[in-house]
């Protein structure tokens, strides 16, 4: 039996936990909504404008860097399985070294551009 | 990489935290110091007072509540008039005491009908206690008189009197303190014949007395 | 699948759920107490009698009875479902972490990658919560959280890859089997990187910029009340449990220790508990980092350090293989 | 019908349904979230078919990272919550898209369904996959790093404008531009 069957069961159990907890809340918690209670919280003053707003582009750079490097990093895991083999070990070390080295150029590039600095 | 933020030192928000870090002896010692301090506190006994279970140890002059010694009150209204937020209410009427000796004069005295302090207004400044010439008001360390309704914090004279037994005795005088003015006046050596040495000293000895009384 | 198999699956899943509901409470109570004593306080003393042991149970009961408010401006469906998305990944992650070779709910062949992948999904819960609240604080908090989680996920992935490399397997049980005390020195930089990234992933102080209560109230969770809010808190503490146990399995040899045949699971739990205490300790000892410091630490310190560790591990393994 | 068939059908149906919802929902962010469900269930498909590492990479990279990137992109736009006229397609376009989608589905189904048979599960050992990757397919693997580098540099070049000019100046520039268009409208 695959361990992933258990994983799937755990996902189901987790969702059941959420549903059951919400059921318990429905039974036990009061519900008395008022207009003021349902307004957006802005430290006590009436909300100004909409909650959805454009945000800084900066965050986008980090997300992009992560995507690139995550794609890079997932190849390290298969590498872990072959690095001890006599025929592929040393060769794969060089291969992965080149692979990461090329991407490191990108990180250095980003750092030199000043994109990793906040201010 | 061009530097658009040239006047950086003028802008404290954008300047790095580096100078501050240097003053604390570097990042790593600072980090370790934080860990060491918290670990040391963990090993030491705590400071928490478990209040409802263990009664707190109050300092001798703590201001808990104002107690009233009703016999001393002459309804002179000084306290009520000096109170910054007007939280003292006094009602009184005059009573005539017939003369005790035949042909003597009838005397009048104030009888206190009501003395109340609204502790929802009181700000515990203690001015009423300071101004009372007859020592009718006293600080009591009693502080557990909360109420569920704010209107119940208006306490009448019988309740104020109940706190009187909790008033601590006045602290003993410091043994090196100057004598109270009255005592000094009584103990003053009787006037003797004028001597040339005593003369310049007298004015300086007389002047402190009125200051002490004031 | 036969009936016996089905029963086994159910028993395993329920056991994971039980651990998920008990261990975070233990960590939470430890946090109450350790934090209090580190600040010269006593912490909760009344609920349950002895030193307030039932404080978190009482909190749970209280949370269930609180009114659940969905703001009028919110995107209702996403808002209501976000706590589940934040919570379930940690539950699933807990399923594959072995306490001992026998005490493991699902011994996945690629357990190390699995835990990383699953915890990465947890970001979505925060992001959904922050976006669906239609609140400016929440949106700011969600953006910060997502940026931080992404930035620290990378050094963590690299550090775990280094361990996998050292062990030559992706299975968590295999890694703990391959562990030897020499790893304590050899994998030390990776361990530090992992611990720092784990604390940052959990958004715990000093990396709690996304919820910085003095600036953006409570970040993505500002609009949440009652049980849904409690679910976010539970997911944070479940996260501490998952990360501490993962650290134990990866860097401290899991169940290895005296009498590991009988008491292996106890060793894992004890070591994990010590790591959890360290995580709590960091919260008490250090102030919050600024957003720019956070990102600089991740990209200019942790990533190069993790890559150096990776190079060290790779070269050493190839040389000694 | 085995349990594997059932599992595959289940995740497949979830993937298809969530994919459909992703393209038909009128909330941009909901579309991204349905995409998460879709990608996650595709990972489930991989898992059922025995490709463990591929499934986990799918979750780690796509669900964890790409979707966060998509959501970031949405948040950088104005992320409207309700149906909005300027981004909604017209009825005609929608009808055409539905016809086209249905046509492609029928075409694919008519080609693929005759080939369908019970799930053929190759339990792909991750070690075998690794050997292939670092032995046979090493050149594509190395070229991939160059591709990623090119993508990174290009993306940084694109996002550089916004990242370098600070918020204040950015906002000022935008306000200025708005002012200019307003004046242009008025004149």
In a domain, residue D128? The reply is no
In a domain, residue A66? The reply is yes
Which pLDDT score is estimated for D174? Answer: 52
CATH number, domain at D113?
1.20.120.1200
> Does the structure's ipTM exceed the value 0.85?
no
Tell me the C-alpha distance between D134 and B63, whole Å: 81
What mean pLDDT do residues C210-226 have?
Answer: 84
> What residues in chain C have their Cβ under 8 A from chain B's Cβ atoms?
34, 36-42, 45, 281-282, 284-286, 290, 293
Q: Residue A55: is its pLDDT beyond 70?
A: no
Q: Considering only CB atoms, which chain D residues are within 8 Å of C78?
A: 29-30, 33
Quick one: pLDDT band at residue D82, thresholds 50, 70, 90?
low
Tell me the C-alpha distance between D56 and D53, whole Å: 5
Same domain, yes or no: D106 and D148: no
What mean pLDDT do residues B17-45 have?
Answer: 73
The SS3 call for residue C148 is: helix
Residue for token digits 């499934």? D55
Quick one: pLDDT band at residue B82, thresholds 50, 70, 90?
very high
Domain extent, residue B148, equals 65-166
Q: Considering only CB atoms, which chain D residues are within 8 Å of C143?
A: 72, 75
Give chain A's domain count.
1
Domain extent, residue D185, equals 137-187
Quick one: pLDDT band at residue A68, thresholds 50, 70, 90?
confident
Q: Residue D67: is its pLDDT beyond 80?
A: no
Residue C169 DSSP label = -
Q: Considering only CB atoms, which chain D residues are within 8 Å of C157?
A: 60
pLDDT tens, residue by residue, A1-19: 578 888 888 888 888 988 9
Q: Residue B4: is its pLDDT beyond 50?
A: no
Which pLDDT score is estimated for B12? Answer: 42
What percentage of chain A reaches a pLDDT higher than 70? 85
What mean pLDDT do residues C55-83 have?
Answer: 87
pLDDT tens, residue by residue, C244-281: 999 999 898 888 878 777 787 888 888 899 999 999 99
Instruction: Tell me, yes or no, if A118 comes closer than 8 A to chain D by beta carbon.
Output: no
Q: Long-range contact list for C288-292, CB < 8 A, 24+ apart?
A: C288/C205, C288/C206, C288/C207, C288/C208, C288/C209, C288/C212, C289/C206, C289/C207, C289/C209, C290/A118, C290/B17, C290/C209, C291/A118, C291/C144, C291/C209, C292/A117, C292/A118, C292/A119
In a domain, residue B96? The reply is yes
Which pLDDT score is estimated for D165? Answer: 43
Give chain B's domain count.
1
Q: Considering only CB atoms, which chain B residues are within 8 Å of A113?
A: 1
Domain extent, residue A94, equals 58-112
Instruction: Tell me, yes or no, if D17 comes closer than 8 A to chain A by beta carbon.
Output: no
| Facing residue for C108 by CB, picked from A3, A28, A29 | A3
Quick one: pLDDT band at residue D83, thresholds 50, 70, 90?
low
In a domain, residue B136? The reply is yes
Look at C193 and C76; give whichever has higher pLDDT.
Answer: C193
Distance from CA of C127 to the nearest CA of D (A): 8
In a domain, residue B49? The reply is no
Which pLDDT score is estimated for A37? Answer: 82
In a domain, residue B152? The reply is yes
In a domain, residue D132? The reply is no
Q: Residue D168: is its pLDDT beyond 50?
A: no
What mean pLDDT do residues C194-222 have?
Answer: 86
Instruction: Tell me, yes or no, if A81 comes closer than 8 A to chain D by beta carbon.
Output: yes
In a domain, residue D113? The reply is yes
| Contact yes or no for A114 and B1 at CB 8 A | yes
Average pLDDT, chain C: 86
| Facing residue for A119 by CB, picked from C134, C161, C292 | C292
Instruction: Label residue A85 left, alpha or beta by phi (over 0 means left) and psi (-120 to 50 means alpha).
Output: beta
Tell me the C-alpha distance between C138 and C220, whole Å: 4
Distance from CA of A28 to the nearest CA of D (A): 31
In a domain, residue A17? The reply is no
Which pLDDT score is estimated for C51? Answer: 84
What sign has the CA pseudo-torsion B76, B77, B81, B85? positive
What mean pLDDT do residues D120-143 have?
Answer: 76
Contact assessment for residue B143 and residue B119, using Cβ atoms and an 8 Å cutoff: no
Bridge partners, B91 (sequence order): B114
The C-alpha angle with vertex A29 and arms to A25 and A34, in degrees rounded to 5, equals 125
Give chain D's domain count.
2
Say which range, B68-77, B150-159, C3-12, D93-102, has the weakest mean pLDDT.
C3-12
CATH number, domain at B137?
3.30.70.3270
In a domain, residue B200? The reply is no
| Contact yes or no for C107 and A40 at CB 8 A | no
């Amino acid at each position: 039996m695959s361990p992933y069957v258990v994983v799937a069961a755990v996902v189901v159990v987790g969702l059941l936990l959420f549903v059951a907890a919400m059921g318990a809340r429905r039974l036990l918690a009061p519900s008395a909504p008022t207009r003021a209670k349902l307004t957006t919280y802005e430290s006590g003053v009436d909300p100004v404008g909409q909650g959805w707003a454009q945000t800084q582009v900066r965050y986008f750079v980090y997300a992009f860097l992560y995507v690139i490097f995550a794609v890079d990093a997932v190849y390290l895991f298969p590498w872990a399985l072959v690095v001890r083999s006599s025929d592929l070990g040393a060769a794969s070390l060089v291969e992965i070294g080149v692979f990461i080295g090329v991407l490191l150029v990108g990180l250095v590039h980003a750092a030199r551009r000043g994109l990793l600095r906040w201010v | 990489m061009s530097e658009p933020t040239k006047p950086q030192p003028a802008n404290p928000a954008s300047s790095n935290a580096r100078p501050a870090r240097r003053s604390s002896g570097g990042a790593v010692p600072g980090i370790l110091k934080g860990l060491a301090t918290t670990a040391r506190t963990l090993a030491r006994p705590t400071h928490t007072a478990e209040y409802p279970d263990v009664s707190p140890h109050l300092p001798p002059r703590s201001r808990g509540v104002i107690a009233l010694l009703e016999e001393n009150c002459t309804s002179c209204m000084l306290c009520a008039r000096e109170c910054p937020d007007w939280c003292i209410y006094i009602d009184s009427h005059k009573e005539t005491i017939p003369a005790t000796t035949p042909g003597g004069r009838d005397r009048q005295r104030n009888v206190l009908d009501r003395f109340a302090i609204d502790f929802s207004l009181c700000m515990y400044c203690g001015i009423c206690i300071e101004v009372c010439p007859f020592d009718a008001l006293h600080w009591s360390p009693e502080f557990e008189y909360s109420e569920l309704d704010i209107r119940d914090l208006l306490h009448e004279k019988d309740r104020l009197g109940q706190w009187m037994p909790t008033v601590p005795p006045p602290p003993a005088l410091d043994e090196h303190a100057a004598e109270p003015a009255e005592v000094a006046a009584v103990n003053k050596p009787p006037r003797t014949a004028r001597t040339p040495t005593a003369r310049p000293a007298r004015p300086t000895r007389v002047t402190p007395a009125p200051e002490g009384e004031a | 699948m036969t009936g016996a198999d089905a029963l086994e699956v159910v028993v395993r899943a329920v056991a994971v759920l039980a651990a998920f509901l008990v261990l975070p409470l233990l960590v939470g109570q430890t946090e109450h107490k350790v934090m209090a004593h580190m600040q010269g306080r006593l912490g909760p003393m009344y609920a349950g009698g002895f030193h307030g042991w039932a404080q978190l149970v009482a909190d749970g009961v209280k949370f269930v009875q609180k009114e659940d408010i969905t703001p009028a401006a919110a995107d209702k469906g996403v808002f209501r479902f976000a706590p589940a998305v934040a919570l379930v990944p940690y539950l699933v992650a807990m399923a594959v972490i072995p306490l001992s070779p026998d005490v493991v709910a699902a011994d996945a062949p690629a357990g190390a990658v699995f835990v990383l992948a699953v915890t990465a999904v947890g970001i979505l819960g925060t992001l959904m919560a922050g976006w669906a609240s239609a609140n400016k604080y929440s949106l700011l908090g969600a953006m910060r959280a997502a940026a931080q989680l992404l930035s620290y996920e990378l050094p963590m992935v690299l550090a775990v890859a280094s361990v996998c490399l050292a062990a030559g397997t992706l299975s968590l049980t295999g890694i703990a089997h391959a562990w030897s005390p020499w790893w304590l020195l050899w994998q030390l930089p990776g361990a530090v990187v992992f611990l720092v990234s784990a604390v940052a992933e959990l958004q715990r102080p000093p990396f709690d910029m996304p919820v910085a209560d003095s600036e953006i109230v409570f970040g993505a969770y500002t609009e949440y009340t009652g049980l849904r809010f409690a679910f976010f808190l539970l997911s944070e503490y479940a996260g501490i449990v998952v990360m501490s146990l993962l650290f134990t399995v990866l860097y401290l040899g899991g169940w290895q220790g005296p009498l590991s045949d009988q008491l292996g699971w106890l060793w894992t739990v004890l070591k994990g508990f010590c790591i959890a205490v360290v995580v709590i300790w960091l919260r008490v000892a250090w102030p919050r980092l600024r957003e720019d410091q956070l990102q600089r630490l991740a990209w200019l310190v942790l990533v190069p350090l993790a890559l150096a560790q990776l190079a060290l591990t790779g070269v050493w393994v190839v040389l000694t293989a | 019908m085995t349990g594997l068939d059932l599992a595959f059908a289940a995740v497949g149906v979830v993937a298809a349904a969530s994919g459909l919802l992703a393209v038909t929902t009128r909330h941009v962010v909901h579309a991204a979230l349905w995409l998460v469900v879709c990608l996650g269930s595709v990972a489930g498909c991989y898992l059922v078919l025995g490709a463990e590492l591929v499934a986990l990479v799918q979750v780690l990279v796509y669900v964890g990272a790409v979707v966060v990137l998509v959501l970031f992109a949405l948040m950088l736009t104005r992320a409207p919550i309700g149906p909005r006229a300027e981004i909604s397609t017209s009825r005609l376009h929608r009808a055409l898209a539905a016809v086209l989608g249905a046509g492609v589905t029928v075409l694919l189904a008519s080609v693929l369904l005759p080939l369908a048979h019970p799930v053929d599960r190759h339990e792909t050992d991750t070690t075998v996959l690794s050997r292939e990757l670092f032995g046979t397919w090493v050149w594509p693997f190395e070229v991939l790093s160059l591709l990623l580098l090119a993508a990174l540099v290009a993306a940084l070049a694109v996002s550089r404008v916004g990242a370098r000019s600070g918020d204040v100046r950015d906002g000022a520039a935008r306000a200025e531009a708005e002012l200019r268009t307003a004046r242009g409208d008025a004149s």
